[in-house]
Structure formats: structure tokens, C-alpha cells
Structure 1
Amino acid sequence: MNPVQLALRVMRVDPRSRLSAMLTAAGVAVATALVLFLATLPNATDERSERAGWQRGTVDPSGALAVASRDVFGNETIIRLDVSGDRIAGAPRLPGPGEVLLSPRLAELAAQHPRQELADRFPGRVVGELDETALKFPEQLVAVVGHPPGTLDPVAAEESGWVAMGTTDFLLKFMAGIGIVLLSVPSLVLVASAARLTAARRERRLAALRLAGATPAQVVGAVAAETAVAAVAGTVLGLLLSWPLRYVGAEISWGGGTWLPSDFTPPVTTVLAVAVAIPLLVVLAAVLGLRRVVQAPVGAVMSHSRKAPTAWRLLALVAAAAFFAFGLATAQRTGGLTPLLASLAVVLLSASIVGPWLTGAMGRLFAAVWRRPATLLAGRRLHSDPRAAYRSVSGIVLTVFVGSMALTLLPSFETFTGGGRSFKDSVLYLDVPGKQAAAAQQRISDQLARTGAHATVANAGRVTLDVVDGASYPAMVLSCPDAAAVTRMAVGLCAGPPAIRADPAMQLPSSGLQVQAAARGDQAVPPPVPLPAGVLVRPLGGQDPELRDSVLIDPALVPQLAGAGQTTLVVNPATEADREKVRTALSLALPGQTFISRELRLEEQQTVLADLRRITAIGLGLAALLAGSSAAITAASSVVDRRRTLGALIAAGTPVAMLRRALRTEAALPALISTLASGAGGIAVGAAMFTLFLDLGENPRLVISGWIFAPVVIGVAVAVLAASSSGPMLRRISTEAISDE
């Protein structure tokens, strides 16, 4: 009888082996589906990027031009392309002069709102809608406005660049890599737990085969065949489950919108790699667990105690920490994620190496100190078989690690939000060359008048104020009334002669000051303008801490700099009701220009934070479900493995209620200590990984909140609840006749 026939015969005649194989196959199916889905995420982001690749400013060799810009309606970003010519490589059909193409979602919004708030921003006749294959995601807001040839500026087209791209694509690839590592491990723990359901019986059966004359190769072949049947069946089922799973994944919003199901179509090489790797890993794990049977079959039959873990295992933590430091340094230096993800996997593996030693040490302590029966029984169990005791909570420990790491990173990411110069939140602004500022300001004012929208329009020159002692401060050339209308600075009363207004902490002198206009591109820097001696310096009162070292210079003090350097056009709508009308007026006055606003600044930040919260909640939910399932199966298998011992205790008069308390204590003690340790490790790893994102914010800082203890509390609770699942099995043992299996 070959090994496969033997495996099938065992599963046919032994209900427990059959149940174990079914649970193993289910665990492998879950692991396969999750790993394959996560492995397709980098490919899905590439598909998105390819679809949106045409949404950029470009000068095509055929003479076609596209000027890309961004706008906002409500809290949604609009990608606008002003185009001329016949065709741009990779782009859909371009509209002709006076024609407009809108994405389906933008066309819907334009029909639902007054024209002066949205539709009028795109002058021309709407001749069609963009297909979803031309959009980054189905809900994306895109407008393509046609212009006559020769009316668009090629320089503006080149400078407008990529407007549909963002940091979320890199972030998703990074999160996908972490997800593969962090969700694969609990999945494999679930598979191992299912395989351990009948481990003791199988070990005795295989040991009997060895004692009967079977060679080690024959025993290994029997186990490999028995495991391979379940692993292959589970892998096939997982591959089939991955097909409907992509439709579920397509509905998960990321980067502002959902996906196309076709985005999650994995490459053939990825499918083959997953289909081969997962069964091999499962079979390899089962074979490696046979060392005891192969080397000492008599010990396996007699259930002799194994050698206790030693403190040398703590060196695994040192090695994992060193490898993680190397991976982190590599990611910071080169941006490569592979060493970092590999080191993260090693950190998780080190927990399974150190965990049994920690469990055994805790068992020795409780067995020596505690005298309550249930705790004493639990302590003896932890001391005698720390590997099996830790196995029941290993999945939970990994989940707590992931949760603590996530709850360290998320509050810290929220410190990235904000920014936006010194203007009020309601302001819209655009940087332009100083020589174009007056004409652009006039066009904006005229268009506002035609639209009937009310707003303050100001011209803020960007300069540097140099002090005689060598210090320099960025400053704005802006009149006092305009500053009061568009900035957050407390300018006070505007009456009196022209003056400099500055943060009082700067203690500016009234002499030896000169103003230097900001240079633009390769233009020559205009000479500095000295201010008259004794110029009036007034303090800015009640300053926002973010506006320290702010300086305002009255335009009357530096008339020579009018039209020089770089200038910011600032528009502040009179009321919130005027806001969308003002945006429409700006789109008509300066088409193809992106006016920065609070909504535009915060849109990507808020989108990224929402995406991180969503994907973290989904990932932790899946990890907790997998960990809880593996803990419940392990708790039940622990009772099955100790049927004789527990039956003997019951026969000797031990109350079943006391045994139930001992089982719960046996689960709670290692869970408490191990989750505390893994929680601390998750915080440390999260804090270290936070350093990769320091360049994304203006004032990033690490935030440690009280919520980081939530994973520990939840982990212990899940472990105790999972241990309760062994109650029915324990009651069944108590009603059985006391006999050897």
C-alpha cells in the first residue's frame, strides 16, 4: 500500500483524522485566498496607474497639448485637462474645440447642482462621457475640455505634470507587503492548529509503524501524503475562492475610490507560486514535526516529556532586532522594502521561538508559588509542556503585535494633517510670476463680477527680509486691510503710516533692513531694496504658534518690487455659499491653473488616513478571526491529546468545574504575559517604522495613546473564550467509560 492509499484509508476509517483533514483544508483554503489576494495588490495599483497615465500635462510629438490641473467640488478632487489637437498617446478620444468630456460621476454631479457652481467651469458642449477604463477608479472626477490649436501654452503643459498620481500607490504596496507577512502567519497558525487536532493519536500510530519495522522514509512519506491530501484540496479551494474574493476587494475604497474587479486578476506566475508554495510549506511543517517519532518512537508511544526550552532562545530576539534594524536602515537609505518585510517576518518568527520558554518559566513560577488547585494544575501543565501551551495563544500573540503596531502608527500619521501657509482656511491661492500678477488679478475680479460671486482678491508678494545682524526672515508684501481679510495674522488696527508688522518675539530693529524679492526659476534675482531708517515696526498680536516669525511689509514701503519675483494671488470667498461660484469664476478666469485650498491640501491626507483606518480594521478583524479560530481548535485538541490524563483526574474525583477553570487559567496566563510582551514589541516596531514617513508631514511626531493597550485586553479575552470551547469536549470525556484508547 503506497502512502497516498494509506492516508486515504486512515481518513476513511478514523472520524477524527477526517475532521482534522477537513479543518486543515479549510485553513489552507483561507490562507491561499488571502495570500493570493494580497499578492495581487501591487499589480492592481499598477493597473490603476496605467489607466490614469494619460491624465498628465504633455506635449505630444503630433502637436497635441494637454494642460493638467486640479480643482475641488465639495470635498472631492476634480482632475481637469485642457487639450488641443487630435490625439495624445495613451489617451482616449480628445474632444474638439468647444467640446467637453466628463467622467460619469462628474456628469452626474454637474446635472444635480446649479450650473454656476460646477458645470460652467467647463465651457463647451458635453459630447460624451469617459469610459471607466480611462479612469483611475470608477468614481473619479475627470473633465477634458477642448481648445482650438495654438491656444494652449506648451510650457504650462510641460510644467503641469502628473496630477492623478499620489503617494497612496506606494503606501498600498507597502501595506500589501506587510499584510502578506502579518496575515499569512495567523493563517498558517490556523492550519497548524487544525493539523494538531489529532496529533497525539497520529504520533502514536506512526510510532507503532516505526516499532513494527517501518523505515523513517516510509513514516515521512505517510505523513507527507496524509498532509498533502488536505493541503492540495485546500489550495485548490482557496484558488477558487480568490475569484469571488476579488469582487469583494473591488468594493473596498482606496485612494479616493473603488476598483475594477479586473484589477485583481493575478499574473499566472503569482498563481503558480502560491499554488506550489503553500502546500509545500504545510507538508514541510508536518514532516519537521516528525523528528520525535523518527528518532525516538518508544518515547512517542510512552508520551515521554520533551526537553524543556532553554534561555538560549532569547538570543532569537537579539538576532531578530538586529535584522530588523538592518531592514529599516536599508528602507530608509534605498527605499527597498524587501529586507524590511523579511525582517518583519523574522521578528514574528522569533516570537514563536521565545514564547515557549517564556511560557515554561511562567509555569514554573506559578507551580512553585500558587496553591489553588486550578492554578496549580495550569502551572504544572505550562511547565511540563510549554510548547503546546504556547501554541494555543501563538496566533493571538501575533494579532496583538499587529494591533499594537497599527495603533502606534495611526495616531502618529494623524499629525501629518494640516499645513497651508498663513492664510485663512477659506482662502484659495495660486503662485504666479510677479509680472503676470496684476493682469491675472484683474481677470479674476472681472470674472467674479460677471458670475455674481463675492470675494476678496489680494496680491501677496513673496520676499525675504534681511536684518543687519545677518538674520533673514520670509515675509509677505501685503497691505494691512488685505492681510486682515485673507490671513490668520492678528494685524490689529490698520490706521497710520506704512509699517512692517512682525512677530514681537523677533524684536526687529527699525534700521538696517532690506527686502529681497523671491527668485523664480532661472530669472535674475532683482537687487535688494533697503528700507528707510526709522521705519515703523508694529507687533502682530495674539499670534497662532504656527505663525511664529511672521512678517508683513506694506507695499508702499517697497514700490520698486511691484511685479518682481514671485507673487501669490489670494482669493477669499465672502461666504460659504459663494465658495463653489468663486471656484467656477477662477476656472473661467485662469483655465488650467490649480488654486490651492484647504480642501485640496487635506484631501490626500484625509484620504490616506481613512484608507489606513479601513485597511487596518479589516486586517485586524481577519487576523483576530484567524487567531481566535486557531486558539479554539488548539484548546479542543489539547483536551483530545490529554483524554487519558483528564479522564484519570475525573475518575479520581476531580470536579469537572475545576478542570474547566484550570483550562481557562492555562490559556489566560500565557496569553497575558505573551500579549504584554508582543504589545511592547509592536509599539517598538511601529515607532521604528514611523521614521520611514517623517518626510510626509510638516511637524510629524510619535503619538502613544491609551488605545495601544486594547489589543492586549482583547487578546486575553479571546484566549479565555477560545479555551471555553474545550468545555463540551471535557464534558464528553467525563461521561465516557475510563478505558485506554
Structure 2
Amino acid sequence: MTARQWSRDLSMGLRFAFSGGREGWIRVVLTAVGVGLGVALLLVTTAVPHALAARTDRADDRMDRTMLNTAKALPRSDRTVLVADVDTTYRDKDVYGRELEPEGADAPLPPGVDAFPAPGEMVVSPALRALLDSADGELLRQRLPDRVVGTIGGRGLLGSRELAFYRGTEGLAAKLGGQSVIRIDRFGEADRSGDGLDPVLLLLTLVVFVVLLTPVCVFVATAVRFGGDRRDRRLAALRLVGADSATARRIAAGEALAGAVLGLLCGAACFLGCRRLADRFELFGLSVLPGDLDPSAALVLLVAVCVPAAAVAVTLLAMRRVVVEPLGVVRTARPARRRLWWRLLLPVAGLGLLATLMGRGTTGGNFNQYQVSAGVVLLLAGVTVLLPWVVDAVVTRLGSGGVAWQLAVRRLQLSGSTASRMVNGIAVAVAGAIALQMLFTGVEPAYTSASPQDLTRAQMQVSTSRGVSVAQASAEFAATKGVDRVYAYAEGMVADRPDADSGWSTLLTVGDCAALRTSAKLPSCHDGDVFTVRGEDVGDDTEALAERGHRVYLDPYDTLAGSEAADASLAWTLPRRVKRAVSVMNPVGEHRGGLLVTPGALPGGAGATLTATFLLRVDDSVADVHDRVRNTAARVDPLARTAVWSETDQSHKFASIRTGLLAGAACVLTLIGASLLVSQLEQLRERRRLLSALVAFGTRRRTLTLSVLWQTAIPVALGLALAMLAGLALGAVLLRMADERVSVDWASVLAMTGIGAGVVLAVTLLSLPPLLRLMRPDGLRTE
């Protein structure tokens, strides 16, 4: 067989595809749509690495919190700017915020900002501007009342839908040394020392990509076989004029190649359209800029080569079971019995590849990505080759029933492979989803810890900068709608010397008796009392400092802005009678030690050295109670940091991978539904004349509709059962690879299976109107 013959036959198939009249065009269009959907998603996937890298680069470019920059390390100059972290949250969305105070004409601007906003002004992201202008942003407008004077450019945003702002301010120098304010001379110096994923998280990421892409490849392979029955009947005419069977197969491959090439163009057009509109959408909190979706040339070339090659290979492989003769196609006879042994080789080989990696967990080094990918793909591909055998084995043993049942069973007995192809994609997707759910559930405890906070006593925490009046702030929080109780205390450090680099030092906690009782068991308490208590992190220094009449110094670490040494006014003589108390677990979840002091015992001006913390018990039934508290905190102190307590704390990296999985799964499920609908419509079109003939002979439409539903339900039920077994096997192996105990969350397994069945049910319901139209007698017309 020469290359010239191949090219001649393939080109003839290409011409037949576009010159075969209405039927030929319909088949090519259906194939192009099916392939195009898959290609579009593949192109989006190839763009994911660049999109993630672009987000990371922009995050680094605007970085202002580093381990190398501290308030004391950088002196004031014309090239410095003071930056305050004023991040906040509105409902369930994070809002990136910074206050800026340039200290000279050459102060650096953050990326995406053209000029510094003046005090009382701010520049915002497009999404934040839209939110502030909408009715939904009423509470946020109260927190951000500054006048909007500009928009942050794309270089300064992680995604198109990110909520972000920069606002001008003054007086930040007095706040230097706290956790929120820093002086920098450039943006973009990132501390990447903590980057990187451990082996289990890398395994999770790799498996997510493989599991999401495998159903896409299955659908692309299925789409190139649309309209196969009519195409094979046309090939019989070619045999009649002298073409041999090999030539007929190559011509059929040429027709499939035409649909695949057109599908590539459709997919590229769909990808470009999605790319232009990417900035308008957000999925599970993730958004991108259009320029982020820029796949590498190598990956695009790989897709462009593999899709047409797969179309040719799949068609030639499928034609092995079809005998195209000059007088017809031998397809409707009972097919030869399918062999099982070779179909088991794929999943067994996949399990074998993965089995050698069992027990490694996070301590055995990174997993071989090629071995993992090959093992997962082989196991999932085993579902696609086993399903036709399972369908044939079951439908040949199905007994008699009603007319609709008999029509469905007979159709499946004659063309079970066609029904299996429709279900393959959803079966692979469900198997992968079950495996991923098992893996995520199994490793989640390693990345999730119980929160130490006592949510029965408080549910929110607000921390302010130095100098905030605790009494006034407590009154404002107590007056906030939805706040039931406020525990307020201030804290700082005391030492026996003005410079705490040597000598004794301990923690100082200031609050009323009710607040102090949340941290210690007090013998008795009156304003003016001082207590010593030993906590987990505080040693004997507390007892030494608490000697009668001992002179101590507040703020010994020189955190007050502009001071070269602790001021004499910060000296404090302890009262001669210091009581002892027993430390108890406070609502924050810690045993606080050091000195517990009531406000009446402190000298005047001591509040300027202390930071305040407010623990709030709130009524979650009050609408937007958390945002109401955040608004109050912003009035009390623009640099206040607010946290909503939860019962568990989860690794940010683990949560990010789960979010990426949800976003990818949503895209794949959309593709599954669209491709299944196209496939279903193609199958109905193939049977149009048969359905019309049955209606013309008096068959009830209800009977035919039920028969079509049975033809979908039986393969789907078998496919989902097989997918459940494959998913459980893959999930168990992956858990052993992560060195976790194998356990099955049956509720999640059934939920994944139910989602797959729900997609098929939705597609079936959408195909009913076209089915009813195809049952009209005029479907017997022909050209």
C-alpha cells in the first residue's frame, strides 16, 4: 500500500463528505459539532498552565508583603511608599484592598494604577465598581465610601472578576511596626520560599487533569463515528463500481477526516469566542483575563495532529466489524460474540502501573507523572472497551415484555455497540469522579484540622491597630445589629528594661473582669486589680516581673513609630499586691499567660501601646450580620482585621485544587451534555424513516417513545454500574498510593452516579420534541 493510494482514497472521502448532498452535509456538520466541542475544551485545557502562570506573575508583580521588607529595614525617602493591608470580605467574596501614602515624588505605583489616589479617593477594579454601583453593594458602599477616581488595569488584577481597590490616605507613619503597615520602595519582590506542593497534592492535581481530559477524548472519538450507518450503505455503491474493501475503508476514513478537520476549525472558533468573552464570567470564584487563555504552540499542534489522526484510526478500527459488499452492508445480522480476555488487559495493566506506587504518601518523593497518567488512562479506557461486552452480554439474555420493551431490546441486540458509544463518555466521567471523590475524601483529614476556637462563646474576631479606644469600640460593636455579646481586651508586652533585647518580658492583657475571666479563673476581680497567670508560651518571667513595686516598661520592642527608645512615659510601676490566677482555655483556643490587668491599674497613655481584640457572639439569623460587623470594624479602625470563625481549618492549597476540580468538572459536564444531545439527535435522524414507517403502520407514538427511552436507559444503567466498579477500584488504588486507609463514602459515590444519570435524563428529555417530530408520516419522503 503506497502513500499515493492513501492520499487518493482519503481525498476522495473528503470530496464525498462535502458533495454527498443533504445527508452528507448533515453528517459532516454533526461530526464537526461533536468534535468541535471536544477540541474547544482541549484548547482551554492546554491554556490552563499559561493562565495559572499569568495569575502567579501578576500576584508577584503587586506583592508588597515580603520577608525581606520590614518597617525598620527601609528608611523614608522620595522613592518609598507606605502601604496598609486593608483586605476585607463582602458576603462570600474576598476583596483585595490597600491604602497608599506616597512619601516622595518617585514613590512606586502598584501595577495597573496610573496615579496615586488622594486621601478620600480610590481606584477600583471593574468588578468592584459594578458591585458598588449596584443595589447589592449597599453594605459595601458603607465600608468603602471613598470617591472612585479610576480603574485598576488588568496588570494589577488576578482575574477579570476580582474585587480590588487602592485608596489614598495619610498618617500611616504612626502605624508603622504593626502587622498591617509597611514601607516599601518597589512592588513585586515576592517571597517564594513557601511555594510548592507536597507529593500527595501533586498526585491530586495530576489525577484531576487526567480524569477531566479522558472523557473529552472519548467524546471526540465517538463524534467522528456519527452517521456511520448511512455512510457504510453509501460505500456499498463504491464496491459495486469496483472498489475493494480496503479502499472503501480508506474512503470512509477520509469522510471522518473531513468532519474532524471541520471540527478543528469549529473548536478553534469556539475557543476564540470563549476567549474574547472570558472576562465576563466567573466559575467557583475563578476568573481570567482574555490574554491568559494563550495555549502554547506545541500543545495546539499536538491537538491539531492528534484529532484528525484519531478520526482516521477510530474509523479504520470500527470498519473491521463491518463487511461492505456491492449489494449491501452486512451489519444487521447478529454480530459475532465479543471476546472478553483482551478487554481485561487495559484495566489490569493500569492497575499494575499504579500498584507499584502504593504506600508512598508524602514521604516517598514525588510520583512519576507519566506512570500515574498512563495507569489512570488505561484503567478508564478499560471502561470503554468493557462496556460493549457488558451490554451485549446482558441484552442477549433479556426476556420478553411489552411492545416498547421488545422494540428496545431488539434494537440493542442488533446495534449494541452504537448504544455503548453514547454511554462511554458519561461512564468514564462518572468512574473518574468517583475515584477523585474517594481520593479527596481520604486525604482531606490530612489537610483539614479542627478549629481551636470555641464557637459556643464567640463566632467572630476583630483585631485593631494600636491606640483604638476599647470602651468606645466595644460600645459600637454592641450596638451593631446582630451582635449579642462583646468580649474586649487589649494586649501588648512589658519588660523590666526599656529595651527588651535582654532581661525579662511577658505578655500583657488588659480588659474588664468579664473579658479576663474568658482567659483565667480569677479569685476575685475589681477595676484596678493585676493578676499573674502562667500560660503555655509564657515562662517564669511573669513571676519575676510581678515582684512588689517592680518597675516595668510598656512597648519594650520599640514598635512605636518614630521612637528611638522606649519613652519614659511608658514606664509603669506595678501595684504592691498582685493576685494569682489559673489559666483556662479562652474562646480563641489558647491558654493565655503573663499579666492580666484591669484598665484602672494602667497609667495614662498606655492604650497607645496596645492592640485591641474583640470577640463577638453574633446571631447568624440576622441578614448580612458578618458584613455589618465588618462595617463597624472599618469605622472603628480602617486597619482592623476581621475573621469569621469556622469549625475547621483547611489547607489553602488543598482548597484551591478542589475549586479547580469543580470548575473543570462543570466544563466537562457541559461538554458531556452537549455531546450526548448531538449524539442522540444523530441516532434519531438515522432512524427517522423506521420511526415514520412504524407510525404509518399504526404503532402508537407512546410506544415508540418508551422504546427510545428504554434504549437509552438500559445502556446507561449498565454503564453507570461498570463506572461505579471502575471508580471504586481506581479510588482504592489512589488512596493506597497516598498511604491512606481505603474507605468508601457511599453517599458521595451514589451522588456522583446520580449526577451522571441526571445528565443523561436531561439530554433524553431535551431530545423528546425532535423525536415526536420525526414520527410524522412525511418522514417517509426521500430524495
Scaled by the length of structure 2, the TM-score of the pair is: 0.64
2:720 to 675, 688, 704: 675
1:580 to 589, 613, 631: 631
| Closer, same or farther: CA 725–572 of 1 in aligned 2, 3 Å | closer
Q: Deviations over 1:173-194 (max 9, x none)?
A: 8698357505523531551352
SS at match of 1:571: strand
1:288 to 317, 329, 340: 317
1:391 to 388, 397, 421: 421
Q: Give, in whole Å, the separation in 2 of the partners of 1:629 and 1:349.
A: 22
Kept after mapping to 2: 8 A contact 1:84/1:147: no
Kept after mapping to 1: 8 A contact 2:225/2:315: no
Q: Which amino acid aligns with 2:159?
A: F
Q: Which amino acid aligns with 2:154?
A: E
Q: Give, in whole Å, the separation in 2 of the partners of 1:25 and 1:428.
A: 57
Kept after mapping to 2: 8 A contact 1:92/1:134: yes
Name the counterpart of 2:644. 598
| Closer, same or farther: CA 249–93 of 1 in aligned 2, 3 Å | closer
Are residues 1:37 and 2:44 paired? yes
Alignment map for 1:313-462 (pairs within 5 Å): 313-323=343-353, 333-334=365-366, 340-367=372-399, 370=400, 375=405, 378-379=408-409, 382-383=412-413, 385-401=415-431, 419=451, 421-422=453-454, 424-429=458-463, 443-445=467-469, 456-459=488-491
Kept after mapping to 2: 8 A contact 1:397/1:675: yes
Name the counterpart of 2:291. 262
Q: Which amino acid aligns with 1:671?
A: V
User: How many Å apart are 1:56 and its aligned residue?
Assistant: 1.8
Alignment map for 1:90-105 (pairs within 5 Å): 91=111, 102-105=122-125
| Closer, same or farther: CA 516–683 of 1 in aligned 2, 3 Å | same
Name the counterpart of 2:676. 627
Alignment map for 1:190-205 (pairs within 5 Å): 190-202=222-234, 204-205=236-237
User: How many Å apart are 1:316 and its aligned residue?
Assistant: 3.1
Percent of matched pairs sharing the same residue: 19
Q: Deviations over 1:601-646 (max 9, x none)?
A: 8997999877765654454233223223324423554x47x96xx9
Q: Give, in whole Å, the separation in 1 of the partners of 2:713 and 2:420.
A: 11
Kept after mapping to 1: 8 A contact 2:380/2:432: no
SS at match of 1:290: helix
Kept after mapping to 1: 8 A contact 2:419/2:712: yes
Name the counterpart of 1:704. 747
Name the counterpart of 1:71. 87
Name the counterpart of 1:16. 23
User: How many Å apart are 1:482 and its aligned residue?
Assistant: 6.4
Q: Give, in whole Å, the separation in 2 of the partners of 1:193 and 1:290.
A: 10
Name the counterpart of 2:758. 714
Name the counterpart of 1:137. 159
Q: Give, in whole Å, the separation in 2 of the partners of 1:65 and 1:416.
A: 38
Q: Deviations over 1:484-535 (max 9, x none)?
A: 549988979976999999xxxxxxxxxxxx866369xxxxx9799999xxx9
Q: Give, in whole Å, the separation in 2 of the partners of 1:538 and 1:10.
A: 83
Q: Give, in whole Å, the separation in 1 of the partners of 2:735 and 2:60.
A: 30
Residues 478-487 or 393-402, more deviating: 478-487
Q: Give, in whole Å, the separation in 2 of the partners of 1:278 and 1:295.
A: 26
Q: Give, in whole Å, the separation in 2 of the partners of 1:148 and 1:460.
A: 22
Kept after mapping to 2: 8 A contact 1:49/1:165: no
User: How many Å apart are 1:35 and its aligned residue?
Assistant: 1.7
Q: Give, in whole Å, the separation in 2 of the partners of 1:13 and 1:418.
A: 66
Alignment map for 1:112-123 (pairs within 5 Å): 118=143
Are residues 1:666 and 2:711 paired? yes
Q: Give, in whole Å, the separation in 1 of the partners of 2:250 and 2:525.
A: 95
Q: Give, in whole Å, the separation in 1 of the partners of 2:520 and 2:759.
A: 51
Count residues in correspondence.
Answer: 664
1:276 to 301, 305, 323: 305
Name the counterpart of 1:177. 209
Kept after mapping to 2: 8 A contact 1:460/1:569: no
| Closer, same or farther: CA 70–731 of 1 in aligned 2, 3 Å | same
Name the counterpart of 2:34. 27
User: How many Å apart are 1:195 and its aligned residue?
Assistant: 4.2
| Closer, same or farther: CA 288–551 of 1 in aligned 2, 3 Å | same
SS at match of 1:365: coil
SS at match of 2:491: strand
Q: Give, in whole Å, the separation in 1 of the partners of 2:140 and 2:295.
A: 43
Q: Give, in whole Å, the separation in 2 of the partners of 1:348 and 1:44.
A: 28
Kept after mapping to 1: 8 A contact 2:99/2:168: yes
User: How many Å apart are 1:228 and its aligned residue?
Assistant: 2.1
Name the counterpart of 1:504. none
2:268 to 239, 248, 272: 239
SS at match of 1:307: coil
Q: Which amino acid aligns with 2:747?
A: I
CA RMSD in angstroms comes to: 6.2
For structure 1, list consecutive stretches of 5 or more residues without a partner in the other structure. Answer: 431-439, 462-475, 502-513, 520-524, 558-562, 589-593
| Closer, same or farther: CA 160–276 of 1 in aligned 2, 3 Å | closer
| Closer, same or farther: CA 607–275 of 1 in aligned 2, 3 Å | closer
SS at match of 2:244: coil
Kept after mapping to 2: 8 A contact 1:77/1:141: yes
Name the counterpart of 2:603. none
Q: Give, in whole Å, the separation in 1 of the partners of 2:369 and 2:183.
A: 34
SS at match of 1:366: coil
User: How many Å apart are 1:239 and its aligned residue?
Assistant: 1.4
Q: Which amino acid aligns with 2:754?
A: A
Q: Give, in whole Å, the separation in 2 of the partners of 1:380 and 1:56.
A: 66
Name the counterpart of 2:565. none
Alignment map for 1:642-653 (pairs within 5 Å): none
Kept after mapping to 2: 8 A contact 1:189/1:394: no
Q: Give, in whole Å, the separation in 2 of the partners of 1:197 and 1:494.
A: 91
Residues 311-320 or 299-308, more deviating: 299-308
User: How many Å apart are 1:379 and its aligned residue?
Assistant: 4.5
Kept after mapping to 2: 8 A contact 1:516/1:528: no
Q: Which has the higher helix share?
A: 1
Q: Give, in whole Å, the separation in 2 of the partners of 1:114 and 1:672.
A: 50
SS at match of 2:336: coil
| Closer, same or farther: CA 255–725 of 1 in aligned 2, 3 Å | closer
SS at match of 2:28: helix
User: How many Å apart are 1:352 and its aligned residue?
Assistant: 0.9
Name the counterpart of 1:310. 339
Q: Which amino acid aligns with 2:258?
A: V
Q: Which amino acid aligns with 2:53?
A: D
Kept after mapping to 2: 8 A contact 1:29/1:237: yes
| Closer, same or farther: CA 253–327 of 1 in aligned 2, 3 Å | farther
Q: Which amino acid aligns with 2:163?
A: Q
SS at match of 2:281: coil
Kept after mapping to 1: 8 A contact 2:222/2:421: no
Q: Deviations over 1:557-603 (max 9, x none)?
A: 9xxxxx9xxx9963346997564343455455xxxxx8462289899
Scaled by the length of structure 1, the TM-score of the pair is: 0.68
Name the counterpart of 1:49. 56
Kept after mapping to 1: 8 A contact 2:490/2:612: yes
User: How many Å apart are 1:354 and its aligned residue?
Assistant: 0.8
Q: Which amino acid aligns with 1:582?
A: A
Q: Give, in whole Å, the separation in 2 of the partners of 1:495 and 1:528.
A: 19
